[in-house]
Amino acid sequence: MSPDSQRVMVDVGGRELQLSNLEKPLYPTGFTKGDLLDYYARIAPVMLRHLRDRPVTVKRFPEGVEQQGFIAKNVPRHAPDWLRTVTLPRKGTDRWGKPSGSENDRETTQFVVVEDLATLMWLVNLAAVEFHTPMWRIGQKGQPRSPDLLVLDLDPGHPATITECCQIALSLRDRVSKDGIELIPKTSGSKGVQLYGRIAARRWSADRVNDYARELAEELERTLPDLAVSRMAKALRPGKVLIDWSQNNMAKTTVSPYSLRALERPTVSTPLSWDEVGRGADGDGGADGPGAGLLAFGPRDVLARVETLGDLFESLGS
């Protein structure tokens, strides 16, 4: 097939985009770039509300997920002039891992802000498989606002599984509700579970959110010492669930709701109901092992879920 036969011009919301390499497999399952574009175009009506006003970091895999991809923060030089962007000071943790002479030498980072379908499709056409965002939004003058979200990332250390993550999630839900915060769960799309809470009305500083999340993690570690750990040290993690509170740092990002993950097969970071988490905590998650079904949400599954359940994260996107 000639290169031209894999290129197509499309109109997306009045923006003309050239899409390329549509038949190129990006996953070993045969999931193609065309499939990637189709999924993100169809999930956009719910996903865009969670990307709105947040600087986005993407993970690109031009040669497919079996090859080494790279993290992309800065807007490429060939970007169209209609993209919405925001330029922010670089943080010490904001690294591409690129050779000297590229983005590592910049004092600022120019991020894309995904506010419409055309921007989303432009990024996906660059083989952006994963989308990651911070817990804060950009204000009208382009400055970071106070965090509007709290996140707790539950990561199981082998032989712990998502079942233990669900058990911890239920405990955290009950604990945080005492402070008047409602947590909403989603899968990471990988091994664990992530819990989000809306805190915009509290107007907490990033440091205050980070401290609160750390205090919660340390409290659960004391309460459930055989199941939970709040410290990153690998020696402490086997058989336990790390409650990663550090994702609330201003320089950190977490995989966005409805983003695909760059794993062996295309799984999606999927909002869950608490009933599903309860079943996962009981080990009733699927035929492939305790809780395994909660990791099984692929693009078609997620589109069907949204059709029947709506956006379970809707209250966080306003």
Position 317 scores a pLDDT of: 86
Cα–Cα distance, 220 to 152 (Å, whole number): 12
pLDDT higher than threshold 50 for residue 92: no
Residue range 293-316: average pLDDT?
92
pLDDT value at position 94? 42
pLDDT greater than 50 at residue 102: no
Quick one: fold of 149-316?
Alpha-Beta Plaits (3.30.70)
β pairing state of 70-72 and 55-60: antiparallel
User: Looking at residue 284, what is its pLDDT?
Assistant: 61
Query: What pLDDT, in 10s, does the model give residues 124-176?
Result: 999 999 999 999 999 988 999 999 999 999 999 999 999 999 999 999 999 99
- What average pLDDT does the chain have? 91
Annotated domain spans of the chain:
3-133, 149-316
| pLDDT reading at 4 higher than 50 | no
Q: Is the predicted pLDDT of residue 1 greater than 80, yes or no?
A: no
- Over residues 8-32, mean pLDDT: 96
Give the DSSP per-residue string, the chain.
Answer: --GGGGEEEEEETTEEEEEE-TT-B-STT--BHHHHHHHHHHHHHHHHHHHTTSEEEEEE-TT-TTS--EEE-SPPTT--TTS-EEEEEPPTT----PPTTSGGG-SEEEEEE--SHHHHHHHHHTTEEEEEE-SS-B-TTSPBPPP-EEEEEEEEPTT--HHHHHHHHHHHHHHHHTTT--EEEEE-SSS-EEEEEE-GGGT--HHHHHHHHHHHHHHHHHHSTTTEE-S--GGG-TTSEEEE-GGGSTT--EEPTT-B--SSS--B--B--HHHHHHHHTT-S-TTSTTGGGG---HHHHHHHHHHH--TTGGG--
Q: For the segment 54-83, what is each residue's pLDDT rounded down to a tens digit?
A: 999 999 999 999 999 999 999 999 999 999
30: which residues sit within 8 A by CB, 6+ positions away? none
- pTM of this prediction? 0.92
Give the right CATH number for 3-133 from 3.10.100.10, 3.40.630.10, 3.40.50.1820, 3.90.920.10. Answer: 3.90.920.10
Which pLDDT does position 251 carry in this prediction? 94
pLDDT of residue 114: 98
The residue ranking higher by pLDDT, 194 or 3, is: 194
Across 16-42, average pLDDT: 97
pLDDT of residue 164: 96
Long-range contacts of residues 6-10, Cβ cutoff 8 Å, at least 24 apart = 10/121
Give the tens place of pLDDT for each residue, 266-292. Answer: 999 999 999 999 999 998 644 344 455
Pairwise pLDDT comparison (6 vs 30), residue with the higher score: 30
